[in-house]
Amino acid sequence: MSSNFAPLQNDTFLKALLRQETDYTPLWLMRQAGRYLPEYRATRKGAGSFMSLAKNPGFATEVTLQPVDRYGLDAAILFSDILTVPDAMGLGLYFEEGEGPKFERPLKDEKDVLALQQPPAGSLQYVFDAVTQIRSALNGRVPLIGFAGSPWTLACYMVEGQGSREFHTVKKMLYQRPDLMHRILRTNADAVAAYLNAQIAAGAQAVMIFDSWGGALADGAYQEFSLKYMQDIVNQLQKEQDGRRIPSIVFTKGGGLWLEQIAAIGADAVGLDWTVNLGQARALVGDKVALQGNLDPAVLFAEPAQIRQQAIAALESYGQPAAGHGHVFNLGHGISQFTPPEAVSVLVETVHEHSRQMRQAGR
């Protein structure tokens, strides 16, 4: 597919992911299009449910652009949900007011697992349409990130039927019937790889795999049941589109202990949560991958002076930019719905200003 999209004006984010020199540290925020923004709540009110927003490319485009317009962030991310893929597999995604996502038909037993199939052709077209429409609407201002859930994280929801604190049901299957668990993960990995490649074909300029629940796994089980399948996906990803490299980011929340192994699966960048020391992480991964993260979203509940202090501390912890290294500033997890919108302005200004100053001082 040959692109008719406008040329990219701000490629700072893509350059940082590819460990190329940048004038400042680029910044975006996980879940940046969300309920903390009054303009999002207004659009959502008009659209109805979360999924009716996500399934309508017009609405998805509108809310994707809102935080980019308001804050001058360095990347946009597709407005969608990680559970679109198992929904398309027929599990019946639904949301109940005030609760997390649930599935009507979770994978309860061997019969359910053996019946699991790839999403039917066309079932995720609404996502790819949204990607193309958002990319067009961005008009080259900043790059668009596509994303998907990791095979393990999807499996958690597919087996539990909903979010969980302890993951009893899915872990019971993992330890009791590893063969069934591997079958689900194999199916998920192939589906996610195809899904991300279709997002790339539709206009996504970088892709991210969210492994929200990898950190719930034991050492050993993480490598076998989560990391391996993310590596399979990374191997299957289309690496270029329209002559431009499409960088990939993998993020296991709670995966700081496994950083060196995550950095070795072939992705361009690794996302970090706030428990990780950025400077130590950089020393560990060297020039193998860029790093993305890792401010505690709770910092955004503080006053401007503290937000500035914590943002500067994170930049200084990562340290001076250098050839072959790259840092994308982000939170260590999704932004809270209770965040005051002004707090994000303080963060964005601080990161942009201070990271420019660091580069000046380093010359």
Assess 172 for contact with a copy of itself (CB under 8 A): yes
- Applying CB under 8 A, the site for a copy of itself has a residue count of 35
- Mapped to the 3 state alphabet, what secondary structure does 150-182 carry? CHHHHHHHHHHCECCCCCHHHHHHHHHCHHHHH
Stretch of 61-69, 72-80, 140-148, 217-225 contacting a copy of itself, by CB under 8 A: 217-225
d(CA 204, CA 187): 23
Phi/psi-derived region of residue 293, left when phi > 0, alpha when psi is between -120 and 50, beta in every other case: left
User: Which residues lie below 8 Å from residue 134, measured CB to CB, with a gap of 6+?
Assistant: 57, 60, 61, 64, 65, 76, 78, 79, 144, 203
Of 246 and 299, CB closest to a copy of itself? 299
| Residue 171 beta carbon to a copy of itself: minimum distance, rounded to whole angstroms | 4
Of 56 and 275, CB closest to a copy of itself? 275
Assess 304 for contact with a copy of itself (CB under 8 A): no
Which one of 218, 239, 283, 322 is in contact with a copy of itself (CB under 8 A)? 218
Closest CA to 19 of 353, 360, 322, 231: 322
Positive or negative torsion for Cα 41, 339, 254, 167: negative
Tell me whether strands 93-95 and 101-103 are parallel, antiparallel or unpaired: antiparallel
Closest CA to 229 of 257, 256, 252, 245: 252
Q: Which two tokens stand for residue 142?
A: 């900043």
Assess 220 for contact with a copy of itself (CB under 8 A): yes
Stretch of 37-45, 57-65, 88-96, 174-182 contacting a copy of itself, by CB under 8 A: 174-182
Is 31 an annotated catalytic residue?
Answer: yes
Buried b (16+ CB within 10 A) or exposed e, 158-190: bbbbeebeebebbbebbeeeeebbbbbbebbbb
Assess 167 for contact with a copy of itself (CB under 8 A): yes
Is 245 an annotated catalytic residue?
Answer: no
List, in sequence order, every residue forming a beta bridge with 208; answer none if it has no partner.
Answer: 147, 249
Assess 251 for contact with a copy of itself (CB under 8 A): no
Is 356 an annotated catalytic residue?
Answer: no
Stretch of 31-39, 235-243, 284-292, 302-310 contacting a copy of itself, by CB under 8 A: 302-310
Which one of 96, 97, 166, 240 is in contact with a copy of itself (CB under 8 A)? 166
Is 157 an annotated catalytic residue?
Answer: yes
Q: Which of 24, 40, 157, 195 is catalytic?
A: 157
| Residue 234 beta carbon to a copy of itself: minimum distance, rounded to whole angstroms | 22
Q: Which positions are annotated as active-site residues? A: 31, 35, 44, 81, 157
Q: Which residues bind a copy of itself (CB under 8 A)?
A: 166-168, 171-172, 174-176, 215, 217-222, 254, 256-257, 274-277, 295-296, 298-299, 301-303, 306, 310, 313, 332, 336, 338
